[in-house]
Amino acid sequence: MTSNKQFYVTTPIYYVNDRPHIGHVYTTTIADVLARYHRLLGHDVFFLTGTDEHATKVVDAAAEQGVSPQEWADTCAGAFEDTFSRLNMTNDDFIRTSQDRHKTKTTQYVKALLASGDVYLGDYEGWYDAGQEEYITEGKAEEYDFKSPFNGKPLVRKTERNYFFKLSAYRQQLLDFYNQCDADGNPFVQPQARKKEILNRIAEAQDVPISRTGMGDWGIKIPGDDEHTIYVWIDALFNYLSTVDTDDRRGYWQSGAIHLIAKDILWFHAAIWPAVLTAIQKCEGYGWVNLPAGVYSHSFWISEGRKMSKSLGNFIDLEKIDYYVETFSLDALRYFLATRGPMGTTDSDFAESKFAEVYNSDLANTFGNSCSRVTNMIGKYFDGQLPASQDEGLPVQEAVQAALACMERLDISGYAEAALGLVRQVDSYIENTAPFRLAKDPKKLPEVGTILYNSAETLRIVSVLLWPLIPDACEKVWERMGLDYKAQMDANTGQGQLEAWVAWGLLKANTAIEKGDPLFPRYQVKK
Ligand code: ME8
């Protein structure tokens, strides 16, 4: 056990009815950036992703393939695990809802809720969106003209004998909870623009069905009733708790989970989940269960200007993802996703021309170029030995603090922009002081040394800041500057010392600085 601050970040668990695509890779990349950032800060991080396997669409997909749901789930979950590992995601675990560890815990949670009366047996009739596996309120159904807002298919009128969760009993507690989070300055849902809709819906929330029949052996049974299976959404939400509900992991839960999701599944995370947790908390043995620290619901990637769809042929699937990694590098993909992604309330367009432009402007022409320029001059004028600085250095701390403040509010683009601002500061410092001109006069070499030391030192600080986004390139910079940050992190369960490492003056004069190949070779846009 460590006494360091704990940090728990999750992605949605993905349905195994399909292969991973850019949307799944996006949310997992954002989570990875956050996880790496917090480890760099020295926090004890738990980063969770996984797969959601008990949906009826998984049963259907399996039937289509002529295999059992478990076989189908194994294949697809394998594809997700494999993809995330190839993309160097640093998740600490990968939960599959068909695993016994999840099923056992989830059964216990539902049992506790049955005992407390928060889950009860009743009848339900309503409009059902089969694609989303979700009931829609009368008002919403009317608003959507009785068609699914997601796939346009007609909503189905359905009556079911079901187990219900007493959501209506938690309206006031949820609203109070939202107010308390706001008062504490930690809004529960981000971006805030989505909050109002959720609050309106909470104010009218009815009890929700949490079971279904006809799933056969696939899924988790309602304890004591073999006919009913726990509804896939309740089953899925519990993954966040079940995975860390062990003696050595409960601290992560208690540190306040950060759930990263997209806007399509906000209701479940922003209302049902905290209500279920509030109910669980009162049950015997679950007094330790607190509510998550926050839910961040981003928007969608569209592709080449249109909604991604297989029929339009603009789907960013695994083959396309591999193409970007091979053509531009994994760092480039991470950087583009993390800085140009739909973190706010508008969708982002994944277009190759934009990708190439961002790659060239931010990575090749800014960070990469500045590193080459400075190390080249150190090679040329100082034989690759880092000169000493004769002054106090550059004022970088303001930008560093601005970057850190951005990341605290999950503004990853702002964070990257603050770091790149430092690179631009180095570029204009070099333009203004013109060391390449001064170097012609041997008497001015100490001055040139000062400029190059200050520039290299700033780039070192930038490489620490950018590591969560572009780890491969930053680790190369560290190697070339003789820095053992990676080794220090590896030796210390992944934890770094961000705040110490961004202090000015850590590079030692006379260190050998290796030039190396360009970090990000410029990309020639094809005509
Ligand atoms: O909803 N742009 O799983 P899912 C950005 N199993 N992100 C996207 C995206 C896009 N175009 N498409 C998908 C489920 N995503 C449930 C979740 S959680 C307890 C259960 C990402 O496979 C985004 O994170 O449909 C979205 O929330 C998630 O994939 C949905 O994945």
Per-residue pLDDT tens for 290-322? 999 999 999 999 998 899 887 788 889 999 999
The atom of ligand 1 lying closest to the CA of 301 is 2
Q: Are strands 257-262 and 294-298 parallel, antiparallel or unpaired?
A: parallel
Nearest protein CA to atom 9 of ligand 1, as residue: 23
Mean pLDDT of the chain: 96
The pLDDT value given to residue 4: 87
Tokens in use for 78? 């394998």
Cross-strand partners of 494: none
Distance from C-alpha of 337 to C-alpha of 470, rounded to nearest angstrom: 11
Query: Which whole number is the average pLDDT over 421-447?
Result: 98
**Burial group, residue 290, by CB count within 10 angstroms (0-12, 13-18, 19+):** middle
pLDDT at 124: 80
Q: Distance, CA 310 to ligand 1 centroid (Å)?
A: 16
Return the best residue to mutate from 80, 261, 306 for the ligand 1 pocket (most ligand atoms within 8 A of CB): 261
- Quickly state the pLDDT bin for 1 (edges 50, 70, 90): very low
Nearest to 252 by CA among 47, 11, 460, 492: 47
**Residue 41 pLDDT > 90, yes or no?**
yes
Report which protein residue has its CA nearest ligand 1's atom 13. 23
Longest dimension (CA), the chain: 90
Closest ligand 1 atom, residue 237 Cα: 19
* Centre of ligand 1 from the C-alpha of residue 13, in Å: 8
| Start-to-end Cα distance in the chain | 56
Ligand 1 centre from 264 Cα, in Å? 8
Task: State how far the Cα of 362 lies from the Cα of 1, in Å rounded to an integer.
Answer: 40
Q: Is the Cβ–Cβ distance between 274 and 293 less than 8 Å?
A: no
Task: Return the percent helix, strand and coil in the chain, to nearest 5.
Answer: 50, 15, 30
3-state SS string over 350-398? ECHHHHHHHHHHHHHHHHHHHHHHHHHHHHHHHCCECCCCCCCCCCCHH
The yes-or-no verdict on residue 288 having pLDDT over 90 is: yes
CA 347 to ligand 1: nearest atom: 2
- What sign has the CA pseudo-torsion 78, 82, 84, 85? positive
DSSP conformation class of 145: T
CA 161–ligand 1 middle distance (angstroms):
29
CA neighbor of 73 nearest in space, from 107, 97, 93, 103: 97
Ligand 1 center to residue 14 CA distance, Å?
6
pLDDT higher than threshold 80 for residue 250: yes
| Contacts (Cβ under 8 Å, ≥6 apart) of 507 | 386, 453, 456, 457, 460, 481
Residue of minimum CA distance from atom 8 in ligand 1: 23
Is 471:338 a contact under the CB 8 Å cutoff?
Answer: no
Point out the ligand 1 atom lying closest to the alpha carbon of residue 12: 18
Residue carrying the six token digits 């304890």 = 223
pLDDT at 42 over 60: yes
Q: Which of 128, 146, 164 is nearest to 56 (CA)?
A: 128
Q: Where are the alpha helices (DSSP H) in 249-366?
A: 250-254, 266-267, 273-281, 318-328, 330-340, 352-358
Q: How far apart are CA 188 and CA 195, in angstroms?
A: 9
Q: How far is CA 61 from the centre of its chain?
A: 27
CA 264 to mean position of chain CA atoms: 16
* pLDDT at residue 502 in the model: 98
| pLDDT per position as a tens digit, 452-490 | 999 999 999 999 999 999 999 999 999 999 999 999 999
Residue 169 has pLDDT above 70, yes or no: yes
Instruction: Tell me how far the alpha carbon of residue 84 lies from the centroid of ligand 1, in angstroms.
Output: 15
Tell me the best of 10, 15, 22, 98 to mutate to test the pocket of ligand 1, counting ligand atoms within 8 Å of each CB and taking the most. 15
Which atom of ligand 1 lies at the shortest distance from residue 239's CA?
19
- The predicted pLDDT at position 26 comes to 98
**DSSP designation for 442:** G
- Which pLDDT tens digit goes with each residue over 117-154? 999 999 888 899 988 888 888 888 999 999 998 889 99
Of 124-128, 375-379, 504-508, the poorest mean pLDDT is in: 124-128
Ligand 1 pocket mutation pick from 300, 312, 336, 340 by most atoms within 8 angstroms of CB: 300
The span from the CA of 168 to the CA of 212, in Å, is 20
Spacing of C-alpha 513 from chain mean position: 34
Residue 444, pLDDT above cutoff 50: yes
Ligand 1, closest atom to CA 297?
27
**What average pLDDT does this structure show over 188-205?**
95
What gap in Å lies between CA 475 and CA 457, rounded to an integer?
Answer: 15
pLDDT number for residue 438: 98
Share of residues in the chain with pLDDT > 90 (%): 90
Task: Examine the pLDDT at 2 and tell me if it is beyond 70.
Answer: no
The order of strands in the sheet holding 221-222 is: 211-213, 225-230, 221-222
Residue 415 alpha carbon to ligand 1 centre in Å: 25
- Beta strand 119-129 with 156-165 is antiparallel
Stretch 106-117: mean pLDDT: 98
How does residue 527 score in pLDDT terms, banded at 50, 70 and 90? low
The ligand 1 site (C-beta within 6 Å) comprises 12-15, 23-24, 26-27, 52, 236-237, 261-262, 264-265, 300-301, 308
* Ligand 1 centroid from CA 456, angstroms: 41
The ligand 1 atom at the shortest distance from the C-alpha of residue 342 is: 5
Say how many Å lie between the CA of residue 146 and the centre of ligand 1.
23
Beta-strand runs (E) in 69-168: 93-96, 119-129, 134-136, 156-165
d(CA 81, CA 76) in angstroms, rounded, equals 9
Instruction: Return the DSSP state at 311.
Output: T
Q: How far apart are CA 104 and CA 119, in angstroms?
A: 18
Query: Does the CA dihedral 25-240-158-224 come out positive or negative?
Result: positive
The residue whose CA is least distant from atom 12 of ligand 1 is: 23
**Can you tell me the mean pLDDT for 238-254?**
98
Look at the block and give the residue holding tokens 């509900």. 245
For 406, which DSSP code? Answer: H
Tokens linked to 519: 């970090």
**Among the atoms of ligand 1, which is closest to the Cα of residue 341?**
5
The answer to whether residue 207 scores a pLDDT higher than 90 is yes
pLDDT in tens, 43-88: 999 999 999 999 998 999 999 999 999 999 999 999 999 999 999 9
Beta pairing partners, 221: 229
CA separation for the pair 259, 190 (Å, rounded) = 10
Q: From atom 7 of ligand 1, which residue's Cα is the shortest distance away?
A: 23
